[in-house]
């Protein structure tokens, strides 16, 4: 074997070694990327689950609330009194029969 042949074989083996090393580096980078992606998905799933739980709890709380009729009526009376004018007076005017406001 000549010097050129030995050099060619050495360069070929070095090239293969470099390719293997590059392949392993790329494989590690892919694994790290996959791990980060899995962690991000786990965080997103956890956030979605906790948001669903919060929505369910809020819906349950809203269903348990019962309206306070006395507060609603008092608020309506307060608004009605505030909207009366000198012409309508405290009793109001009923121009269209039973309805007081035109809407």
Instruction: Look at 53 and 88; give whichever has higher pLDDT.
Output: 53
- Please list the residues that pair with 73 across neighbouring strands: none
Q: What is the pLDDT of residues 24-80, one digit of tens each?
A: 889 999 999 999 999 999 999 999 999 999 999 998 888 777 777 888 778 777 666
What are the respective helix, strand and coil percentages of the chain, to the nearest 5? 75, 0, 25
Task: Copy the structure tokens of residue 41.
Answer: 């998905």
Query: What is the rounded radius of gyration, in angstroms, for the C-alpha atoms of the chain?
Result: 40
């Amino acid at each position: 074997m000549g010097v050129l042949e030995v050099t060619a074989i050495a360069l070929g083996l070095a090239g293969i070694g470099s390719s293997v090393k590059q392949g392993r580096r790329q494989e590690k980078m892919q694994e790290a990327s996959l791990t980060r992606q899995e962690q991000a998905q786990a965080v997103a799933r956890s956030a979605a689950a906790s948001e669903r739980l919060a929505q369910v709890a809020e819906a349950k709380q809203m269903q348990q609330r019962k309206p306070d009729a006395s507060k609603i009526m008092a608020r309506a009376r307060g608004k009605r009194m505030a909207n009366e004018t000198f012409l309508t007076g405290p009793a109001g005017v009923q121009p269209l029969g039973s309805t007081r406001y035109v809407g």
